[in-house]
Structure 1
Amino acid sequence: MRDDQIHQAITILTEAVKAWVSPAVTIVATQGKDPFKVLVSCILSLRTRDQVTADASARLFALADSPEKMIHLDVPRIEAAIYPVGFYRVKAEQILEISRSLCELYRGAVPDELETLLKFKGVGRKTANLVLTLGFGKPGICVDIHVHRISNRWGYVKTRTPEQTEFALREKLPAEYWIIINDLLVTFGQNQCTPLSPRCSTCPLYDLCDRVSVTKSR
């Protein structure tokens, strides 16, 4: 994909994803633009299917939807609410620890700076950027495995890790697409541009994609 084709690609994707369900964390974000809920849902979503994430988020937030309420729960109760998300025991401890830190250091408010968010245990660049973009509407590029895979498959970037992809996209992706790129490519990657045997024959971006490293497709 040539650099000047990204505008066309985003336009096509924006229309195509309307036929599919949005990622679970995005759905949580649209229900109130609450940075805390975005942060917790993103932690739950790691190594977990979307529907499991959505259900676990709903159960947990029914018990506690703020750091102030969360610190009154103990780890076993959080575990019971979020099971069966991946690594639910570790995540329960992380959520409680983050909630305590928010209350003790930030008066219960989630920070809106990338470097500050990265100080919390269990919060990596993907989660921090998602909190900034979906929770605060601030510029950021959230790169998960879908964004990394697809932007390389297109031939738009040539990188080896998600972190390298984030910085490469910061250099060349027009700023108007920073916030939306994750939602678009996660949805696209789950439904069309899958990791193994992508659905190239019906892909609306077929003529723009270099199909780098694609050896088998449908």
Structure 2
Amino acid sequence: MNQAKRIEILTRLRDNNPTPTTELAFSSPFELLISVLLSAQATDVSVNKATAKLYPVANTPETILALGVDRLKDYIKTIGLFNSKAENVIKTCRILIEQHHSQVPEDRAALEALPGVGRKTANVVLNTAFGWPTIAVDTHIFRVCNRTRFAPGKTVEQVEEKLIKVVPAEFKVDCHHWLILHGRYTCIARKPRCGSCLIEDLCEFKEKTEE
């Protein structure tokens, strides 16, 4: 795909959604961090349902740590992998208190040192909480970038590297959100909704559907 076509795709996505953001519900960098940590292999909807009950009771490192693993599990047991996630959240809260004055660090290495936090989670937090021009690549973005040929790659790391290279600076902060929403609602996994896609004429996917 040539660069002019990429810019036109991003321009259309921006015109359609000028101020995109995550669908996770949060009111602080800490809540965002915990929600993203909980969202691994789970839907944003399921995470929001759980945190809607959790955050009014505990939404700081101290209050969640005070719950302990077992009580935290009661709040998040509807989310996949809740046992390991509860352990990681408690460990993360302890590290934030002991090493970061209970604040979410605006630092990639410090974020990735937290239990259960990998590069993708760190990218989301840096982008959404702090406005960094990072692009987190999840399954939706990986699919969209390969299917459209916008930024093809065999691994999420390759796709991220290509996106950082080809996405102009003016689009970088919001690119993650546009692509993930496009993959979640239009360029879906089993049968993409090409007929209602606003970038269908620019997409290089060969097996387009009429839907």
Q: Given the two structures, how large is their TM-score scaled by the length of structure 1?
A: 0.89
Deviation per residue, 1:26-81 (Å, 9 max, x gap):
x42xxx3x211111010111111221111112222112111122111111111111
Structure 1 window deviating more from structure 2 (101-110 vs 5-14): it is 5-14
Q: Letter of the aligned partner of 1:182 in structure 2? A: H
SS in 1 for 2:116: coil
1:157, CA displacement in angstroms?
Answer: 1.8
Q: Any residues of structure 2 matched to 1:102-141 within 5 Å, and which?
A: 102-141=96-135
Which residue of the partner structure matches residue 31 of structure 2? 37
Report which structure shows greater RCO (CA 8 Å, sep ≥6).
1
Structure 1 unaligned runs (5+)? none
Which residue of the partner structure matches residue 94 of structure 1? 88
Contact 1:17 1:188 in 2 (8 A): no
Percent of matched pairs sharing the same residue: 32
1:176, CA displacement in angstroms?
Answer: 2.2
- The whole-number CA distance in structure 1 between the counterparts of 2:6 and 2:152 is 15
Q: Any residues of structure 2 matched to 1:24-63 within 5 Å, and which?
A: 24-25=23-24, 27-28=25-26, 32=27, 34-63=28-57
SS in 2 for 1:158: coil
What count of residue pairs does the alignment treat as equivalent?
Answer: 210
Which residue of the partner structure matches residue 178 of structure 1? 172
Q: 1:208 to 1:146 in 2, by over 3 A?
A: same
Q: Letter of the aligned partner of 1:2 in structure 2? A: N
- The whole-number CA distance in structure 1 between the counterparts of 2:132 and 2:64 is 26
SS in 2 for 1:179: helix
Contact 1:132 1:138 in 2 (8 A): yes
SS in 2 for 1:139: coil
Contact 1:17 1:187 in 2 (8 A): no
1:6, CA displacement in angstroms?
Answer: 2.2
1:178, CA displacement in angstroms?
Answer: 2.0
1:14, CA displacement in angstroms?
Answer: 3.0
Which residue of the partner structure matches residue 150 of structure 2? 156
Contact 2:89 2:115 in 1 (8 A): no
Q: 1:182 to 1:89 in 2, by over 3 A?
A: same
- The whole-number CA distance in structure 1 between the counterparts of 2:210 and 2:88 is 39
- The whole-number CA distance in structure 2 between the counterparts of 1:156 and 1:189 is 13
Contact 1:192 1:203 in 2 (8 A): yes
Match status 1:142 vs 2:141? no
Contact 2:192 2:208 in 1 (8 A): no
Q: 1:215 to 1:15 in 2, by over 3 A?
A: closer
Structure 1 window deviating more from structure 2 (7-16 vs 39-48): it is 7-16
Structure 2 unaligned runs (5+)? none
Contact 2:195 2:209 in 1 (8 A): no
Which residue of the partner structure matches residue 66 of structure 1? 60
- The whole-number CA distance in structure 2 between the counterparts of 1:84 and 1:178 is 34
Contact 1:9 1:205 in 2 (8 A): yes
What's the RMSD between the two structures over aligned residues? Answer: 1.9
1:179, CA displacement in angstroms?
Answer: 2.0
Match status 1:190 vs 2:189? no
Contact 2:32 2:129 in 1 (8 A): yes
Q: Given the two structures, how large is their TM-score scaled by the length of structure 2?
A: 0.91
Which residue of the partner structure matches residue 6 of structure 1? 6
Q: Letter of the aligned partner of 2:147 in structure 1? A: R
1:15, CA displacement in angstroms?
Answer: 4.2
Contact 2:65 2:90 in 1 (8 A): yes
